[in-house]
Amino acid sequence: MDKKYKAVLDVVKADIERVNKNLVFDIGLNPQLNKELESFLHSPSKRIRSLVTILYLRASKMYLLPAHYELLSAVELVHNVSLIHDDVIDESKLRRNKKTLNDKFDNQLAVISGDYLLGAALKKLVKINSLEVIDIFADALKCMCLGEVNQYFNKFKKIKLDEYLEKSTQKTASLFECSLKAAIYLTGNEITEQAVEFASNFGLAFQIRDDLINVLNTDKSKSVNDAEEGIYNAPMILSDELNVGIEKTKDLLNNYINCAKHCITDLEESIYKAALMELLELIKNV
């Protein structure tokens, strides 16, 4: 893990450890599959959705409750479910330098395993005993699926930038929004437009950065696979010339990073706000 990112993570280390602890549960499937899922869930991870949410709450002087750690472990489970299902859709053989579930077993078992973990996430949400939180999650799950469906029907089409941003909001930013909105709701504070915009801008920046990394990584460029499958990412949408597309995508990334920074300028200075600012700077560096 990058030293600078670890330094940001260490600001709320105890909180992240509690989220990780809540991810430990009896999976209760076939022993061989249990082992694979446990390894997948607890492999080195940035926990960035939990990190952003916790830092924002603490920077806003909102107290975290036991329910927050159930909530954030549910967020991490949903994220991991999306990775498992994405590997099936993309026919990926490796994830985090390890064989994917669909490659180690088959697509059917991978899909069912993801669905099982989604059930575990829902159980955690039920423990919180909040219909509003469940509603927020339901909206996010619908958005994530809608983004995947729209991407499928736009294969081999060079979509417009606003369509790309909508898809990225649905597939990626919606879970960042869900995490922060539900967490703020549990504190009893108002879910402000500024907070939602921060999460949305952060999520979009995160996805745009991912597209840039895919293009710039010449050894294992996912963008090549995307192109072969008819999926256009930001650099390919912004220009037919790759180098120009890359530079325009960097400008687009910086725009959303600056928008996210603007959303937290009114927060009082603290180690948590500083950590959020540092995190945004780290995303800028590709």
Per-residue tens of pLDDT for the chain, all 286 residues: 589 999 999 999 999 999 999 998 888 889 899 998 998 898 878 899 999 999 999 999 999 999 999 999 999 999 999 999 999 998 888 887 789 999 999 999 999 999 999 999 999 999 999 999 999 999 999 999 999 999 999 988 889 999 999 999 999 999 999 999 999 999 999 999 999 999 999 999 999 999 898 888 755 434 335 666 777 899 999 999 989 999 999 999 999 999 999 999 999 999 999 999 999 999 987 7
Token digits for 88?
Answer: 């099936």
Rounded Cα distance between 78 and 97, Å, is 21
User: Which of 172, 175, 202, 198 lies closest to 60, judged by CA?
Assistant: 198
Where b means 16+ CB within 10 Å and e means fewer, 17-37 reads ebbbebbeeebeeeeebeebb
Task: Evaluate whether 62 touches 187 at the Cβ level (below 8 Å).
Answer: yes
- Most distant CA pair in the chain: distance in Å? 52
Model confidence pTM above 0.85: yes
Distance of CA 255 to the CA centre of its chain: 19
Cβ(205)–Cβ(280) below 8 Å? yes
279: Cβ contacts below 8 Å, ≥ 6 apart: 5, 8, 51, 52, 55
Domains by residue range for the chain, with CATH: 3-284 (1.10.600.10)
> Whose CA is closest to 67, among 125, 25, 140, 139?
125
